A and B are shown apart, each in its own frame.
Chain A
């Protein structure tokens, strides 16, 4: 018998369909991934499977029983973790256990087992609100496990959790499944999807494809070529027309390389080589790889007729500074908060025309560093250079040249899209005659043509993010700060985001991206890994990979760097 089934399961909120007639059949002992961007309907699906929300129509079953009647065997980890921040670790567990009528002796037994397995055994009397993201996640998992469930529903369990904790979490999941548990996990992260036994790709409430990750990749019927060359934008421009006549399936710039999807490896290679040769562009490296899940997801969406617009940006102003000059620099920056050093002696620079990725876990000091770089916080030691100024980096002339967009960037929810755009254009002093073409551009980029009168608050996350991005660049800043710009958006939108970011860089904009998503790191031209306030290593994505022999992904490299650092810190502590 299947552990979990869904038949034509559907959920609508008023006129909005969140989940559209999905079918699922998940076997016992499986890790099943529900993969999709924000707003794909993952959470609604989970709430129906957990028995906390009635479907509009269709049916779901957990071991043959209605989800509501099967709650005793279901563990549900919500996105917010649903912990009580003002209760201790122990109190959270015993409360959840008491709700589920677990006998106290069993609770104590299981709690001690899971807490020691998760490395929380010495924190039992700490308040849940004072735990780190990774620890909260493990505590929430322990709470879900204490009732001895047969099915675990994990809704984006690793969002906001650093890569090291994330990896640990997945190894725990593997153990639990080995014990016979069935796990359904939702994630927007395609790298995590690779760790699932089977996945379903979800988009706008529908399941587009189901299968093992390798089946899905194989279903694409394509090979991926990684091309490295000094002049990426020129190479992309040359290869793209070839791709549109069907010989190359897809051409995409990814950080310091170009990915080319081809039907056949050898033929594709030849075609790429001849095109590059014809344009007398040198090839540093060209080799064949497995396609990524992202390639498959994008291909599926395209096959179904989805496409994200990539309108050309109506640039009005030439760049005053040549590409290659330093746009933004930190010289031996340190920031201390009382006894705590958030950023220690960081020296780095971002040039015009460069996309620099500052990568670090939550709490590594990224935000403090950014705040110093844009002048919001004064450094304890060191110097900042911003858009050619050392002094007065908060002056309005300097600020006029800066753009900032965060994942939680505040558009005004109660204004319409057009009003928001007008407001930001007004704040940044964009001349009135430039506003209409720019507004049209943002609407096209966000896929919101003709919907400019819609209230911003009613837009799904991915759309809002694109409007926010548009609002951040209406004044054509020459230095752009982006905080997790593409987390949670669908793969098509992500592509158009990065396409645009690269175009802005080509036009001479200096771009600093901060993120803990290694998928985003992949897209940067140069990376800096920030660990506990230290800038540990700087390199190109390709260079980073080479530093760590045997590393398959940037995540492997990052984890190796962090682990080495921890050992070093532990060693210093032991000496002291």
Chain B
């Protein structure tokens, strides 16, 4: 035990001495949280749309007003003489609304009248949203014109957990997971590969400290750092994005502790396997982003991942923690909801630890 403490104390002292590592440990994660939560947003605001009103009746004016007053769209003027497609080509607008002649007259006669909406489909996701929003706007207009006529079925949708559909509430916890998946692992891998690179590992080998003591000391130090990082992020999430824990926190805390152990052990394992710091960092960052970001359900629902890759995603430690964190911040289901995820994380962490230990087990130079 005394050696584990000595080892952990040494790691922490080194970290405090190393300005760059300290920035990497604390400042970069918070910056990343800010950039990513404000940068990634799947809701659409202020999309430029071109309107060509060929009718110029009171009714058509009201339709244009409906678009104008929605927060989603921002109506850009476009000369009638020019084709609306040109606006899309020129990048002046993401969509174009063409109102045919006689719209007002046809509506007054109670005849169904198509209006044309051209959408820039080069960004598929946005296009999907644009057409959805545009339909909502026209539907709203429709019902306003007809005072909610009989026979019309309105789908009454109510969103749970994230009633404002605020993407911050959805992404904030996700970024929290991403940041905690990468930075503690990076620090741990740097510390470990530096030990081999600078040959200080020999000093460790010639003492008879065991592989367990050495590993646990290192891991403990970086779990402490990671917890500090996590607290900092949680404070920022709460203060700036209003995201806070919903419900009973013990499951979340236990899951977090295990997850940080798992991540730090992963970093240590990579650092032990790759003695070049730059290469070790690359591998950790690559795994962190690729696996957690792409296969962890952070951006794309796991159900959308093709089958063979979905199997891979079962081994992605971040995937389980994302579920724990979303539960903790949004649903508040507690132990009953997330115990399988906690167990999965413990299992994966155990595998990493065993691999790292078997690499260092002999506490000797390889070959």
Which A residues lie at the B interface, using CB under 8 A? 13, 47, 50-54, 68, 71-72, 74-76, 78-80, 82-87, 91, 94-96, 98-101, 127, 143, 147
Contacts and interface: CB of A to CB of B under 8 A. Distances in A.
14 contacts: A51-B364, A52-B365, A53-B367, A68-B364, A71-B206, A78-B203, A86-B18, A87-B17, A91-B13, A95-B9, A98-B7, A99-B3, A99-B203, A100-B208
A76 B202 contact: yes
A96 B203 contact: yes
Given A82-B202, A83-B200, A99 B14 contact: no
A143 B18 contact: no
A143 B13 CA distance: 18
A84 B200 contact: yes
Interface in B176-215: 198-209
A71 B204 CA distance: 11
A87 B205 contact: no
B18 A95 contact: no
B364 A52 contact: yes
A98 B17 contact: no
B125 interface: no
Contact of A82 (B2, B9, B199, B365): B199
B290 interface: no
A78 B209 contact: no
A96 B363 CA distance: 16
A147 B204 CA distance: 13
Contact of B206 (A51, A98, A127): A51
Contacts of A98: 2-3, 5-7
Interface residues of B, number: 27
A277 to B, nearest CB: 58
Contacts of A99: 3, 6-7, 203-204, 207, 209
A413 to B, nearest CB: 15
A80 B200 CA distance: 8
Contact of B367 (A13, A83, A96): A13
A96 to B, nearest CB: 6
B17 A86 contact: yes
Given A52-B364, A96-B203, A99-B204, A87 B3 contact: no
Interface of B: 2-3, 5-7, 9-10, 13-14, 17-18, 198-209, 363-365, 367
Nearest to B18: A86
Given A95-B6, A143-B203, A86 B365 contact: no
Given A52-B364, A98-B3, A87 B14 contact: yes
Nearest to B16: A86
Contacts of A82: 198-203
Contacts of A147: 207
A409 B6 CA distance: 41
A91 B200 contact: no
B3 A52 contact: no
A83 B363 CA distance: 18
Contacts of B5: 98
Nearest to B213: A99
Given A52-B202, A53-B364, A54-B364, 15 more contacts: A47-B365, A51-B206, A52-B363, A76-B203, A76-B206, A78-B199, A78-B202, A82-B199, A82-B202, A84-B14, A96-B203, A99-B6, A99-B204, A99-B207, A100-B207
B197 to A, nearest CB: 10
Given A98-B2, A98-B3, A99-B3, A91 B207 contact: no
B10 A87 contact: yes
Contacts of B363: 52
Nearest to B10: A95
The 7 closest A-B pairs by CB, nearest first: A98-B6, A99-B207, A82-B203, A52-B205, A86-B17, A53-B365, A80-B199
Nearest to A140: B203
Contacts of B2: 98, 101
A231 B231 CA distance: 80
Contacts of B206: 50-52, 71, 74-76
A244 to B, nearest CB: 45
A94 B207 CA distance: 13
B208 A71 contact: yes
Contacts of B364: 51-54, 68
A127 B17 CA distance: 10
A10 B199 CA distance: 23
B3 A101 contact: yes
